[in-house]
Amino acid sequence: MMKSSSVASLVALAGILGHTTITSTEALQVLTPAVAEVVVSGRPYIVSWNGASADDRFEIDLHYCGSYSYCFEEAECGFWLANVCAEGDGSGCMSQADQSSQVTFPEPLGGRSNEGYRIRIAEVGSDTYRCSDDFYLMSSADAPAAGEEGGPTIEVVAPTADALAIAGEIYTVEFDYDNGFGEQLGRFKIDLYKAWAEDGAGDCGTWVTSVCDKPDVGCLDSQGDYNVVIPADSEDGMYKIRVGLFGDDTIYACSPSFEVVASTTSSSGAATDAAGAAGLWVDSATSLSLPKVLLP
């Protein structure tokens, strides 16, 4: 339980600060965290919103609402606890052209895990802000880890073991991600690995390059599919795709081994046509049975 003196201090602070009025962007709306969503402290999390311009920049703060006792209106965020995204903090959270920001929440107040919290997004250089709905902030000690029952999971669905890719072409990497509480939104690292002759448990092989087009901040996705380009200078051979949660190297998965052939030689005209349809992996079992042809 929170000490009464701590609560009294928070109440006094709220009285000093008073209430701030949303002034200019009434259309601004916080999308995530959503009402009653469970968020785990210490893990990467995507705060998202709409109603802002692409060049608007926002700071993000964590507030405490208790058991919904201290947050009565949308404009009341509760008691300030911590800043989780600020201009110049070096975390990359200010890369907000897609109206989202990856942050990491601190541990809840002592003894206040799974109680009500809110985040406040405030436009840099103005008085404009919005509060999220109440969500539950869970202590990292209370949350199942990756590999444990109920923990976060990720699985690469495509490419499959029978896939064939042509270097220089576009393909859709498909994956299933769940943070353990039903949320699929995240930023992901997507990398190409050269597969080893003999796989080891959990090994993707030898790292070749990132195929995510935003390697510094991660590829934002909620649908489990992302278009990537297999590098044009890739050598013929067997490869894997590794998809990992950006900012947490414990949450990742590797695809089965698939074949990449150089852009100067492909399996058939049919394979070339398939590769030209962005996102489609070629079926190597069919393509490799056909004669090789030289691409123009």
Average of per-residue pLDDT across 102-119: 91
Q: Does 114 map to a domain?
A: yes
Is-contact 116 65, C-beta < 8 A? yes
Number of domains, the chain: 2
Q: Does 148 map to a domain?
A: no
Q: pLDDT (tens digit, 9 = 90+) per residue, 19-52?
A: 334 444 467 899 999 999 999 999 999 999 998 8
| Residues linked to residue 221 through DSSP beta bridges, in sequence order | 186
Q: Does 22 map to a domain?
A: yes
Residue 173 has pLDDT above 90, yes or no: yes
Q: Which of 117, 142, 167 is the last residue of a domain?
A: 142
**Do 81 and 118 lie in a common domain?**
yes
Q: What is the pLDDT of residue 265?
A: 54
Higher pLDDT, 214 or 70: 214
Q: Which domain holds residue 30?
A: 18-142
Q: Which of 76, 108, 142 is the last residue of a domain?
A: 142
**Do 259 and 284 lie in a common domain?**
yes
Q: What is the pLDDT of residue 76?
A: 75
151-183 per-residue burial string, b: 16 or more CB within 10 A, e: under 16: bbebebebbeebbbbbbbbbbbbbbebebbeeb
**Do 178 and 236 lie in a common domain?**
yes
The answer to whether the peptide bond before residue 159 is cis (omega within 30 degrees of 0) is yes
**Do 157 and 228 lie in a common domain?**
yes
pTM for the full predicted model: 0.78
**Do 190 and 276 lie in a common domain?**
yes
Tokens of 261: 């052939």
CATH at residue 157: 2.60.40.1930
Q: Does 1 map to a domain?
A: no
Q: Does 107 map to a domain?
A: yes
Q: Does 12 map to a domain?
A: no
**Do 110 and 168 lie in a common domain?**
no
- Mean of all residue pLDDT scores within the chain: 80
Average of per-residue pLDDT across 120-126: 89
**Do 63 and 168 lie in a common domain?**
no
**Do 124 and 38 lie in a common domain?**
yes
Q: Does 11 map to a domain?
A: no
**Do 79 and 203 lie in a common domain?**
no
**Do 158 and 281 lie in a common domain?**
yes
Is-contact 279 173, C-beta < 8 A? no
Q: What is the pLDDT of residue 276?
A: 45
Q: Does 6 map to a domain?
A: no
Nearest to 47, CA basis, from 215, 244, 183:
183
Q: Which of 142, 174, 198 is the last residue of a domain?
A: 142
Out of 67-71, 230-234, 254-258, pick the least confident.
67-71
Nearest to 188, CA basis, from 251, 273, 270, 108:
251
CATH at residue 42: 2.60.40.10
**Do 108 and 231 lie in a common domain?**
no
Q: pLDDT (tens digit, 9 = 90+) per residue, 240-262?
A: 999 999 999 999 999 999 999 98
